[in-house]
Structure 1
Amino acid sequence: MMLFLLLFAIVVLGLCCLPAFRTGLKARRIHVGLVVFACLLLFIFSLSALSDSHSDQALHKPSQTTVRKKADQSDKAFSSTVSSSSQASKQASSKTFSSASSTVSAVKDENHDFQGFVQKPLSFRHQKQLQLASLDALGRARNSHIQLRNSDEPAVKREPYLNYDPAGWHNYRFFYRSHDGQTKMAWLMNRGHLVGYQFSGLNDEGRNLVAETAWLNTGNYVGTDVENTDSMLFYEEGLDNWLSLHPDYYLDYQVTPLYQGNELVPRQVRLAYVGIDNQGRTLPITLDAAKEQEGNGDARLVYLNNQSPNAKLDYQSGRAVNTVANGHSQAAVISSSKPVANPNTSTDPHQRIVYVTGNGKSSVYWYSEDAMPSNTNKSRVIQMTEQQALDQHKWHSKTEP
């Protein structure tokens, strides 16, 4: 473009000076000199213009590069976000639930060295919601979450018996000391519901059951103690009462077992609860328990230990040892769902181990598993002392030598 203007200027000057060539030689020389001088000026001006043009381009290039880099970084950031979101969606979609898919993912609890689900209230939908996480590779229940009104509670009475054995299930009749100082016996473990039947209406549902002590479940060795804040029963009763006092409001209740590594039995159970009014606004619920602490979304959290004062649990296997002496031995070895290979052959009924089928419900007992009928379900054979069997009005099988 600048070259074109230079040539155009020379042509114009030449035409302007054309009349000078018709005059004298001296005049022509003067005009030719003026033309050459003008051409030099135009040439110098053109070079300067071209230099400025290149300088401008050089100044603009870094700016364009910076913009391009920022755009590339934005594209990468967006791509990374989409990729992360897609991966999270895939992970979330891989978890199956009973009624609705959940966006809650399995993470390590921040306050405990246990594996558990994130505590977060469900989105409000003006209807009952129940979400049960699928069993993991070890067959462990992982998370139960419900949102309901008082009118959504089940009207049908719960069946008294459960058949499903949760991961790590073993049971024992152990000695304990009662309030009056007497040494008595009681079953150590319960098939514990995460979200209680009074809310969920679920009874024999494996995704909602874990092996937990009677002390954790009901607050007592035998029967119930609703005042025991170490038990789930205390909080379940309090939340049930809250619902009855607020029939138009919802309760959001999440119960998460907390496992350490690959242990089959949870060391703790985390409760999370919050009220929701009919506009979807959260309402803190306080049950006046020292264990309560603040959680996400106005929820209250409670961590309860899966233990019993009369026993020491092996959370890896689910087995336990009695820590209360019975007057005949320092530790009472009672029952297990998987009997030991070599039974105690002592003739003392307080020491001799016997075997009872049907999870201990059979009316007869055996000294040896080998003497049982071939079709016996050995997974439901329970150990106890012969004296315990006699106290339950059982008798020795007549078919065993």
Structure 2
Amino acid sequence: MTSERDAVAETVRIEGARILATLIRTVGDVRLAEDAVQEATLAALGAWPVTGVPPQPRAWLTVTARRKAIDILRRERARPDKERDGLRLIELGGSGLPPDEVVHDDLLRLIFTCCHPALSPPTRVALALRTLCGLSPAQIAAVLLATETATAKRLTRARQKIAAAHIPYRVPGADELADRLPAVCGVIHSLYTAGHAPVDGHAAYDVDTCAEAVRLAELVHELLPHQTMPAAVLALLLLTEARRPSRLGEHGDVVPLDRQDRRRWDAVAIDRGVALLNDSLRRSHGQAEAYQLQAAIAAEHARAASYDGTDWTEILRLYDLLVSIAPSDAAGLGRVVAAAEAAGPAAGLALLADLPPNPRWHAVRAELLAREGRYVEAVRALTASLGGPATQPERRFREQRRDEFRQLATENP
């Protein structure tokens, strides 16, 4: 029975956005479509342990979700327009899965609906992570650094606003596209970031979530091949994802950059990411924006044959630019590391003092203190870093480093 339940969860996690996007196009109602997909999921949980997993799980869920939508619409007799949509669903129920190109278009419509300017930026991210990736309110709350209750309320208000404001379910016209792109790209980047911070914390990465973000970046780039921002976002994700195989050891433990086996990096993804970045930079006429700078930093790491061969001076220059146009805690910590590598740990510590402390801040500080031989302080900093949220692999790595620094403190009083 466990395997059947796992199959339901896996199918919904991977295919849920596609099913939902197509259903929203058909019924024109985000809430109704979500309810239908949820009821189809519950039906699968009840049926599959008895009948076995169907040969085409996605097709089973799609057809069942359509039928559940019809049931919901028929229960709402006071809405004759929705009843007509229900009859349309009956006709579609026997047609199987829509072609891939139709599903792609549906997903793009859903992306741009979630990123409508009438919605606030955090709401766009929350709604997209919920509808496009199927993340729970708890997972979304972790990404947005909010509470689960507040996130659930935000999602409810977003659905109500879409319905009340009659926000269209479509890809915007050329005149609207440029204004909507930053929100769309921000959502995709946030989705990829969510894959690097699984809420359950058992793994360092949610591989499927990261893959879904890359796929969505591909879709938007295909839609807008001459726009600089989608190309830069896709380049950033490809260059980052290319190094993932070497970031974990055999038992799922974190492997820091200086110890990674670069032979395991995906050379094809790196070449494509660099090509996309170069094309994006050519089109922007030298006026780099945040995603381009982040991709350029990732490209510098990807091009280096070894850790010692990394051009840290160039990476520091890029971080200086990034912090000047798009300051963030993550960019600030990256700049600290680059400064320490380019000019020594004291330079990194000086920059670190200007940033707000958080668990990663303490972890970075510990490494820089250790490089100065200040092992007792490094142990304290790592202990402080363990006081906040972290994945289990990351927590184990910090604990191991703390043990190493304790030993060094004993040997070098």
Q: TM-score when scaled to structure 2? A: 0.24
Report the structure number with the largest CA radius of gyration.
Answer: 1
Larger relative contact order (Cα-Cα within 8 Å, sequence gap ≥ 6): 1
